[in-house]
Structure 1
Amino acid sequence: MANLVLVYGMRLLPADEISSVGEAPIELKNGNSARVTMHLLEGSREQIEAQLKQSLDAFFDFYPEI
């Protein structure tokens, strides 16, 4: 299997300051572009950590071959 790259970004902001979350663009070496869906997790630190761990587990469930 080829080497893979997991693209992600994180930033903590006050919950009441977010008005919308969009996709993040990615430029590929072959000239094509792709988009990464951004996700929003809200709650206390412990709640965010638990949601993030659950989200990561679910993400890799989509790719059982890796």
Structure 2
Amino acid sequence: MVYGMRLLPAEEVAEVGEAPVVLKNGNAARVTMHILEGSREEIEAQLRQSIDAFFDFYPEI
């Protein structure tokens, strides 16, 4: 699992794209970036939902 977070003022963000990832075998992949907005509680709920979805896709982990 690759996960990262960076806090930036919303009014300073012009565009969000994909982030490149290079795998040990030399292949390239991209990680989709997301913008989360709301109160602290709303953002925490969105993060928990994203993590839960990951484990739904990969229950063997």
The interval holding the TM-score normalised by the smaller chain is: 0.7 to 0.9
Unaligned runs of 5+ in 1: 1-5
- TM-score (norm. length: structure 2): 0.81
Unaligned runs of 5+ in 2: none
- The answer for the alignment partner of 2:40 in structure 1 is 45
Number of matched pairs: 61
Q: State the identity as a percent.
A: 80
| CA distance in 1: counterparts of 2:56 and 2:8, whole angstroms | 29
Q: Which runs of 4+ in 1 moved over 3 A?
A: none
- TM-score (norm. length: structure 1): 0.76
Q: Which has the higher contact order (CA 8 A, sep 6+)?
A: 1
Question: What is the root-mean-square deviation in Å for CA atoms of aligned residues?
Answer: 1.3
